[in-house]
Amino acid sequence: MKQTDPEVLDPDFFEKEALKIPLDANFIDGLKEMYWKKYYARRDIYLRSVDELIGKPVEPQAYGLPDVDKTQLRPEYAHIDALQHADEKIRKIYTIAYGNRKDLNRAWKKALLDSLGIHHMEEESLSFKVAWTTALIRHWSLLEEEKQIIKPGRKFKPPRPKWLSMKILAMVQYRNKLIKQLRATSEEEFERVAKILKLSYRVPKPVEELEVNRTRKKWTEAQIKNRINWEKENQLIALKEKFMANREQRVKEIDDEMEKLKQEEAAIMKRLEEIDRLQGKFSGKVQGYYQPDIIGDFYKHNDHDKIGFYLPKPNMVVPEESDAYKVVKRKGRTRKLVVRTTDVDDLKKLSPVNL
């Protein structure tokens, strides 16, 4: 897939493709491949945004430089009348082809400015500065590649001129600043300049949309979570449709069953009341609540620990352990009961009546 396809330019293209990977034993391997595809695609976009042309032949047209007539006179000698009607052998000495590299550079810059319709003396405008810097970047990068050509009689490629490549990067950053200002002042002028000079400007993303999952591990973990939520949502939607389909009918069935059960319960309670009445028991509702004789048992609750014969004997039935009392086993058959509460209900269980 090429980067120029409109589908691939979608920022969430690879995340959407990750949802289509089947949930097999090779799911994570599929995510790994998808990550590397995204990485290389992102790398291509970054390199194009920086305007560095890699892997192209060393020709000025490949670097975005316009065609220049090298048989033209240099601008220093353009106004001389004698050269206008002179011999070609004399005239060609004062042309760009027989000049320095500097003359060629100036001719490229002038051609780019003429393509935009900008005069060479309006140095204050931003579009002039953008065109000037693009020409600089392009003929410097051409020079950089020309310096690495293997000369005849040599084996190895000469090293990259770092003094030049650092300047190119600095100029690219300066140009991005100028483009940002141009875009803020007038978008029409910016679009016109970008179209003619064939610039690729990368709009900076807002803070909320910045990518957080930079490494492969984080990206795969995020995709797995996405997939889990996506599958859950689909299942919930299917369940909801299933429940909503026969909802009214099911609610009616439940209501009918409830009514039947209530009628059964009422009949059973009626029968139980009749039985109680026949046996002579009180089957009505009690008003109030039962209160124990606290005042009469007052001395028992307070001096319960001091009265020794109220304590349980080893052969007696001891109640179950709880937070209220604890059974401590000693040597032999003896046991000791430790009482911790003062609750009436808990102490009643230890009363001599029960023992």
Partner 1 sequence: MVQTKWLETLKLASNFKTAKDAEMLLGLVVQLSRIGLKRTSIGKIKCPWNKFDDWTKKYWVESEYFWAYDQKSLIKQGDWVIIKPMLHVDSPIKSIRPITHEVEKVVFPFGNRVDPVTKKLAYELKFADDIEFKRNLIVDVIEKPFEEDSLLFDQKRELQAQKIKELKSKDLSKSEDNN
According to the binding rule CB under 8 A, does residue 293 interact with partner 1?
Answer: no
Question: What dihedral do alpha carbons 189, 194, 196, 198 form, nearest 10°?
Answer: 180
Contact characters 143-182, partner 1, x per CB under 8 A? --------------------------------------x-
Q: Choose among 132, 158, 163: nearest CA to 146.
A: 158
Instruction: Give how far the C-alpha of residue 21 lies from the chain's centroid of Cα atoms, to the nearest Å.
Output: 19
Give dist(CA 216, CA 304) in Å, integer: 73
With CB under 8 A as the contact rule, the residue among 146, 187, 233, 255 that binds partner 1 is 187
With CB under 8 A as the contact rule, the residue among 20, 79, 102, 333 that binds partner 1 is 79
According to the binding rule CB under 8 A, does residue 119 interact with partner 1?
Answer: yes
Lookup: tokens for 230: 């996506």
According to the binding rule CB under 8 A, does residue 208 interact with partner 1?
Answer: yes
With CB under 8 A as the contact rule, the residue among 71, 100, 125, 351 that binds partner 1 is 125
- Cβ partners under 8 Å of residue 51, min gap 6: 134, 137, 172, 199, 200
According to the binding rule CB under 8 A, does residue 113 interact with partner 1?
Answer: no
Helices (H), 12-91: 13-19, 27-50, 81-84, 88-91
Contact characters 214-243, partner 1, x per CB under 8 A? ------------------------------
Burial 281-317 (b: 16+ CB within 10 A, else e): eeeeeeeeeeeeeeeeeeeeeeebeeeeeeebeeeee
In the complex, the smallest distance separating the C-beta of residue 125 from partner 1, rounded to whole angstroms, is: 5
Element (DSSP H or E) covering residue 260: helix 247-279
In the complex, the smallest distance separating the C-beta of residue 70 from partner 1, rounded to whole angstroms, is: 22
Rank residues 44 and 191 by Cβ distance to partner 1 and give the closer one. 191
Burial (CB count within 10 angstroms: exposed 0-12, middle 13-18, buried 19+), residue 183: middle
Binders of partner 1 among residues 250 to 289 (CB under 8 A) are: none
According to the binding rule CB under 8 A, does residue 115 interact with partner 1?
Answer: no
Rank residues 5 and 123 by Cβ distance to partner 1 and give the closer one. 123
Q: Where are the beta strands (DSSP E) in 188-269?
A: none
According to the binding rule CB under 8 A, does residue 246 interact with partner 1?
Answer: no
> Quick one: DSSP state of residue 326?
E
With CB under 8 A as the contact rule, the residue among 3, 61, 100, 186 that binds partner 1 is 186
Q: Which residues pair with 95 in a beta bridge?
A: 73
According to the binding rule CB under 8 A, does residue 69 interact with partner 1?
Answer: no
According to the binding rule CB under 8 A, does residue 209 interact with partner 1?
Answer: no
> Quick one: DSSP state of residue 308?
G
Size, binding site for partner 1 by CB under 8 A: 19
With CB under 8 A as the contact rule, the residue among 206, 280, 284, 296 that binds partner 1 is 206
Which residues here bind partner 1, judged by CB under 8 A?
79-81, 119, 121-122, 124-126, 181, 183-187, 190, 206-208
